[in-house]
């Protein structure tokens, strides 16, 4: 039983998808298919393995990984107690879950780096707007077990290739990178930041309410506040790159060289700090050219202490998450066409009960050969069945009447040409496969697993 069920709304008002969530309708699916296909292809090209984790996890996992003083943990998590009394959270990001799975399944024993990719729905209680939802979907990769800056470059290059493979022109994207140091050098930077902001607040007046709170709890985030007045102060703040220890500085310089070697242009963005606490050294974002800083399509970075914080051995790692909705929005804004499925549908029309049985049987045979086929059920007249075939965009109609049954033939109608021909029923599948460019099951080789 659902506890404390609220009063049911009047059915006349109907139900709506919860605020900040969206239905992905059949007409949108071509975009989703397009992006997922390219994400899978690029992951395979870089030799990443697919991993899937549960939609919800122990709430403490995200508090530990994302960080107690982050917006996500403070304000945005969907956390609930289940009937067994466990405190669970709908996944507010992918990395914590992947690291938990990495440790739980002993992946540390595998040859490193362990390269993983995933698709997952992500839940954050945010203020909804274009490109920002309470349920969104991410494609992400995590490369676990290497501290080499070349690994950061590989992950960035994979993200870049994904976006260009989907059709977004590279000149419509910008890559921002920064280094926020490690546990050794960051404390000095944080001290300098606090000092600077305190002095500025005395002189300029206090920052926004979030910044005032962050000054003590999470000063790094003062750098990426979206309020205009706070941004002006952050613009002149000390830069993290000025406080890097020699190892972090070397890592950052190497990354810049590797990106140059890969032909990837980037801008050094000292205001880029990212909103999750686990990052060390490299942080990066890919943003659409000419839009607000909020609209990163890809965000990621290195997280060299996270696995240790979750109870594992010291294990450096780097990865990114890309919002599928944001990739699709950018494709649509830029009016980039995605391939539409070829019209291949065959609709079977019938005249009478026996031909209807024949149509059901034949549709089944065609589907077994890989031909999309539908019987025009629920319509009696041939006219309305053919009208239906036209409306659903059928390429061919097959008409079966008593005469066709007697002669073991069918009438094949090309819908666009309005031309008909009679062909033996045993040849229909072969003829259609040839005309629709489908490999029949006789010719087809064993399909590759798509799991
Ligand atoms: P994130 O920057 O929070 O990073 O999210 C990654 C991407 O998810 C963003 O760049 C954006 O495209 C998309 N995204 C985030 N929030 C929303 C939202 N409310 N609505 C629509 N899209 C959104 C992470 O989640 C890290 N786990 C990335 C990572 C992986 N870092 C290392 N490994």
Among protein residues, the one with the nearest Cα to ligand 1's atom 1 is 299
Which atom of ligand 1 approaches the CA of 296 most closely? Answer: 10
Best residue among 53, 136, 325 to mutate for probing ligand 1, ranked by most atoms within 8 Å of CB: 136
pLDDT band at 449 (very low <50, low <70, confident <90, very high): very low
322 alpha carbon – ligand 1 mean position (Å): 6
Strand partners, 400: 350
- Stretch (H or E) spanning 359: helix 353-368
Helices (H), 116-245: 149-166, 186-204, 209-217, 228-235
Pairwise CA distance, residues 151 & 317, whole Å = 9
Per-residue pLDDT, 446: 43
- pLDDT higher than 50, residue 451: no
Residue nearest to atom 2 of ligand 1 (CA): 299
What per-residue confidence (pLDDT) applies to 439?
85
SS3 label, residue 422: strand
- 28-85 pLDDT per residue, tens: 999 999 999 999 999 999 999 999 999 999 999 999 999 998 999 989 999 999 999 9
Grade residue 205 by pLDDT with cuts at 50, 70 and 90: confident
Q: Which two tokens stand for residue 352?
A: 């009478």
Residue 415 tokens, joined: 């819908």
The residues facing 398 across adjacent strands are: 348, 412
CA distance 258 to 117: 22
Does residue 96 contact residue 61 with C-beta atoms inside 8 Å?
yes
What pLDDT score does 444 carry? 46
DSSP state at residue 448: P
Question: Alpha-carbon distance 233 to 254, whole Å?
Answer: 30
Instruction: Please state the φ and ψ torsions of residue 179, each to the nearest 5 degrees.
Output: -125, 130
CA 290 to ligand 1 centroid distance, Å: 19
Q: Are 297 and 330 in contact (CB under 8 A)?
A: yes
Q: Whose CA is nearest to atom 25 of ligand 1?
A: 93
Please calculate the CA angle 39-44-45 and round it to the nearest 5 degrees.
100
Ligand 1 center from residue 321 Cα (angstroms): 5
Q: What is the pLDDT confidence band of residue 96, given thresholds at 50, 70 and 90?
A: very high
Cα 298 to Cα 65: distance, rounded to the nearest angstrom:
19
pLDDT band of residue 237 (cuts 50, 70, 90) is: very high
Q: Identify the weakest region by mean pLDDT among 225-234, 396-405, 422-431.
A: 225-234
| Percent over 70 (pLDDT), the chain | 95
* pLDDT exceeds 80 at position 102: yes
The closest alpha carbon to 88, from 52, 61, 64, 106, belongs to 61
Give residue 11's pLDDT band: very low, low, confident or very high (50, 70, 90). confident
Q: Which of 51, 137, 138 to mutate to test the pocket of ligand 1 (most atoms within 8 A of CB)?
A: 138
pLDDT tens sequence across 185-201: 999 999 999 999 999 88
For residues 30 and 340, the answer to whether their CB atoms sit within 8 Å is yes
Decide if pLDDT at 178 tops 60.
yes
How far does Cα 410 stand from its chain's mean position?
46
pLDDT at 5 over 60: yes
pLDDT recorded at residue 167: 97
pLDDT number for residue 65: 94
Task: For ligand 1, pick from 321, 327, 329 the residue to mutate: most ligand atoms within 8 Å of CB.
Answer: 321
Q: By alpha-carbon position, which residue is closest to atom 30 of ligand 1?
A: 320
Residues 6+ apart with CB under 8 A from 6: none
Give residue 94 CA to ligand 1 midpoint distance, Å. 9
Q: How far is CA 42 from the centre of its chain?
A: 13
Structural tokens at position 177 = 């990178």
**Cα separation, 425 vs 106, whole angstroms:** 57
User: Is the Cβ–Cβ distance between 142 and 53 less than 8 Å?
Assistant: no
Q: Does the pLDDT value for residue 332 go beyond 90?
A: yes
Identify each DSSP E strand in 245-297 by its residue range. 267-268, 280-288
Query: Residue 7: pLDDT above 80?
Result: no
Alpha helices of 146-208 — where are they, by DSSP H? 149-166, 186-204
Q: Count how many Cα atoms sit within 13 Å of the Cα of residue 438 in the half-sphere of its side chain.
A: 21
Closest-CA residue, ligand 1 atom 21, reads 132
Atom index in ligand 1 nearest the CA of residue 275 equals: 3
Predicted confidence band of residue 443 (pLDDT cuts 50, 70, 90): low
Where does 16-148 have alpha helices with state H? 29-45, 59-66, 71, 95-104
CA of 352 to the centre of ligand 1 (A): 57
- 451 exposure class (CB count in 10 Å sphere: 0-12, 13-18, 19+): exposed
Q: How many angstroms is it from 179 CA to the middle of ligand 1?
A: 18
Ligand 1 center to residue 117 CA distance, Å? 14
pLDDT attached to residue 89: 98
pLDDT band at 97 (very low <50, low <70, confident <90, very high): very high
What is the band of 292 on the pLDDT scale with cuts at 50, 70, 90? low
> Ligand 1: residues within 6 Å at CB?
93-95, 124, 126, 131-133, 136, 138, 140, 142, 276, 296-301, 319-323, 325-326
Q: Starting from the edge strand earliest in sequence, which strands make up the sheet with 317-323, in order?
A: 49-50, 114-123, 135-144, 317-323, 298-302, 280-288, 173-179, 267-268
Check residue 441 and give its pLDDT: 63
* pLDDT at residue 204, rounded to an integer: 74
Q: How far is the CA of 428 from the centre of ligand 1 (A)?
A: 50
Atom of ligand 1 nearest to the CA of 93: 25
Contact 264, 160 (CB under 8 A): yes
Residue 447 in this model has a pLDDT that exceeds 60:
no
Average pLDDT, the chain: 93
Distance 263 CA to ligand 1 centre (A): 25
Atom of ligand 1 nearest to the CA of 140: 30
CA of 62 to the centre of ligand 1 (A): 14
Gap from CA of 52 to ligand 1 centroid (Å): 17
């Amino acid at each position: 039983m659902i506890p404390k069920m609220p009063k049911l709304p009047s059915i006349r008002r109907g139900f709506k998808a919860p605020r900040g969530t969206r239905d992905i309708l059949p007409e949108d699916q071509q975009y989703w298919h397009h992006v997922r296909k390219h994400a899978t292809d690029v992951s395979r090209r870089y030799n990443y393995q697919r991993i899937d984790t549960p939609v919800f996890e122990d709430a403490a996992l995200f508090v530990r990984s994302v960080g107690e003083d982050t917006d996500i943990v403070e304000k945005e998590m969907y956390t609930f107690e289940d009937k067994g009394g466990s405190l669970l959270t709908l996944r507010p990001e992918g990395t914590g879950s992947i690291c938990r799975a990495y440790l739980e399944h002993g992946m540390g024993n595998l040859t490193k780096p362990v390269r993983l990719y995933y698709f997952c729905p992500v839940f954050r209680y945010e203020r909804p707007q274009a490109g920002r939802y309470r349920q969104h979907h991410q494609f992400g990769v995590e490369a676990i077990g290497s501290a080499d800056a070349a690994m950061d470059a590989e992950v960035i290059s994979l993200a870049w290739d994904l976006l260009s493979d989907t059709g977004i022109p590279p000149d419509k994207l910008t890559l921002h990178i920064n280094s926020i140091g490690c546990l050794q050098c960051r404390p000095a930077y944080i001290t300098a930041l606090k000092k600077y902001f305190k002095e500025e607040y005395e002189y300029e007046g206090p920052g926004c309410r979030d910044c005032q709170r962050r000054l003590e709890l999470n000063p790094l985030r003062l750098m990426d506040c979206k309020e205009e007045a706070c941004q002006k102060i952050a613009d002149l703040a000390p830069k993290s790159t000025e406080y890097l220890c020699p190892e972090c500085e070397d890592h950052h310089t190497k990354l810049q060289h590797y990106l140059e070697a890969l032909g990837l242009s980037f801008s050094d963005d000292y205001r880029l700090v990212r909103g999750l606490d686990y990052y060390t050294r490299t942080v990066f974002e890919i943003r659409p050219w000419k839009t607000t800083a909020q609209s990163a399509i890809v965000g990621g970075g290195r997280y060299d202490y996270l696995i240790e914080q979750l109870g594992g051995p010291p294990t450096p790692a780097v990865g990114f998450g890309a919002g599928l909705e944001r990739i699709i929005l950018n494709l649509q804004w830029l009016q980039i066409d995605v391939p539409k499925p070829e019209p291949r549908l065959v609709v079977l029309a019938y005249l009478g009960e026996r031909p209807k049985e024949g149509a059901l049987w034949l549709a089944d045979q065609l589907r077994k050969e890989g031909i999309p086929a539908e019987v025009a059920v629920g319509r009696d007249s041939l006219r309305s069945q053919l009208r239906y075939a036209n409306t659903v965009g059928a390429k061919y109609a097959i008409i079966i009447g008593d005469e066709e049954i007697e002669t073991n033939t069918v009438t094949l109608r090309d819908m666009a040409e309005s031309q008909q021909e009679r062909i033996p029923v045993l040849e229909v599948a072969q003829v259609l496969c040839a005309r629709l460019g489908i490999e029949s099951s006789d010719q087809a080789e064993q399909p590759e697993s798509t799991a």
